[in-house]
C-alpha cells in the first residue's frame, strides 16, 4: 500500500507513514516504530509481515520534523554518520514523537485494540508508549536510552516485553542491570536477555543478525499481541 498522510497531534504539520493492511481489510492495529534508519525497507517488510498475520500495521516517519522520508541502510559509513546526526537531532523532539505515536493510535480503521512494537530507537519509544498511553501491549527489541527514564515505569499498566542484547554497546551491562532491576517491580513488564548477541540481532541482513535469537524474540510478539489486542 502507498504511504498514508497523518496530521500531527500538535498541529505543526503532517507526516507520512507506511501502512500495510491484511487481506480482510480490517484488524487490530500495530504501530511499528522505526530504527534510526527511518521507515526503510526493513520496517516496511515488518509491517507487511504483521499484515499477513491479520493486523493493520503502520510505521510512522518519526524524523519528519527533521528530515522527511529518511530511508537509510546500515551498509555505508556515510549512512551511519547520517544515522547519528538524525538521532542527535531527534532527541529534543522525543516527547513530540511520543505524541505522534499516541495520535496515530486514534486513527480510523483499527478493530479491537492497538499495540506498538519498536526496534533500537523504536524500542525506546515502545517503552515510552507503554508508559504514557493505554496501548494494549508493547514490545521493544534492543531498546536504547531508557535507563535514564525508568522513573516513568509506574505508568505501565498493560503488557510490555523488552528484548535486550547482552553484548549491546548502546546499552552497556550496567544499564541492562538497572533496567532489569527497576522494571522487575512492575508485573506488567517482562525483560528477556539474549546472550552472545549484539545490538540489532533481529535486523535481517544486518551485521549482527542472529537467526536463533531473532526467531526467539520475534516468536514472543505473536503471543503477546494475540493475547492482548483482541
pLDDT in tens, 188-197: 999 999 999 9
pLDDT given at position 111: 82
Instruction: Give the residue numbers annotated as catalytic, written as ranges.
Output: 168, 199
pLDDT given at position 2: 67
Confidence of residue 109 (pLDDT cuts 50, 70, 90): confident
pLDDT (average), residues 218-229: 91
Centre a 10 Å sphere on the Cβ of residue 22 and count the other Cβ atoms it contains: 16
Contact predicate 141/123, CB 8 Å: yes
Contact predicate 190/202, CB 8 Å: no
pLDDT digits (tens, 9 = 90+) for 40-66: 999 999 999 999 999 999 999 999 999
Give the start-end residues of each E strand in the chain: 4-7, 14-20, 27-33, 56-60, 110-119, 138-141, 160-165, 189-194
Gap between the Cα atoms of 58 and 4, Å rounded: 9
DSSP tag of 91 = G
pLDDT given at position 110: 82
Gap between the Cα atoms of 15 and 81, Å rounded: 24
CA nearest neighbour of 121 among 230, 33, 44, 187: 33
pLDDT (average), residues 145-161: 96
Mean pLDDT (the chain, rounded): 93
pLDDT (average), residues 146-150: 95
pLDDT (average), residues 192-221: 94
Contact predicate 138/117, CB 8 Å: yes
pLDDT-above-70 percentage for the chain: 98
Evaluate if residue 147 carries a pLDDT over 70.
Answer: yes
pLDDT (average), residues 134-149: 95
Gap between the Cα atoms of 213 and 165, Å rounded: 9
Confidence of residue 102 (pLDDT cuts 50, 70, 90): confident
Contact predicate 119/34, CB 8 Å: yes
Task: Delineate the domains of the chain, giving CATH numbers in brackets.
Answer: 4-228 (3.40.50.1820)
Gap between the Cα atoms of 113 and 124, Å rounded: 21
Amino acid at each position: 500500500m502507498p504511504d498514508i498522510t497523518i496530521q500531527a497531534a500538535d498541529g505543526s504539520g503532517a507526516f507520512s507513514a507506511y501502512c500495510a493492511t491484511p487481506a480482510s481489510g480490517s484488524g487490530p492495529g500495530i504501530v511499528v516504530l522505526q530504527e534510526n534508519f527511518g521507515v526503510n525497507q526493513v520496517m516496511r517488510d515488518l509491517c507487511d509481515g504483521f499484515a499477513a498475520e491479520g493486523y493493520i500495521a503502520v510505521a510512522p516517519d518519526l524524523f519528519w520534523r527533521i528530515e522527511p522520508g529518511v530511508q537509510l541502510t546500515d551498509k555505508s559509513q556515510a549512512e551511519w554518520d547520517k544515522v547519528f546526526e538524525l538521532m542527535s537531532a531527534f532527541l529534543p523532539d522525543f516527547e513530540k514523537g511520543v505524541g505522534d505515536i499516541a495520535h496515530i493510535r486514534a486513527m480510523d480503521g483499527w478493530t479491537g485494540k492497538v499495540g506498538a512494537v519498536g526496534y533500537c530507537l523504536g524500542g525506546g519509544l515502545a517503552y515510552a508508549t507503554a508508559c504514557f498511553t493505554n496501548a494494549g501491549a508493547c514490545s521493544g527489541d534492543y531498546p536504547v536510552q531508557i535507563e535514564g527514564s525508568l522513573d516513568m515505569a509506574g505508568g505501565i499498566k498493560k503488557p510490555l516485553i523488552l528484548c535486550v542484547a547482552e553484548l549491546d554497546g548502546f546499552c552497556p551491562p550496567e544499564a541492562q542491570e538497572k533496567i532489569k532491576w527497576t522494571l522487575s517491580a512492575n508485573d506488567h513488564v517482562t525483560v528477556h536477555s539474549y546472550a552472545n548477541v549484539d545490538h540489532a540481532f533481529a535486523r535481517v541482513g544486518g551485521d549482527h543478525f542472529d537467526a536463533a535469537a531473532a526467531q526467539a524474540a520475534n516468536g514472543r510478539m505473536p503471543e503477546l499481541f494475540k493475547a492482548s489486542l483482541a
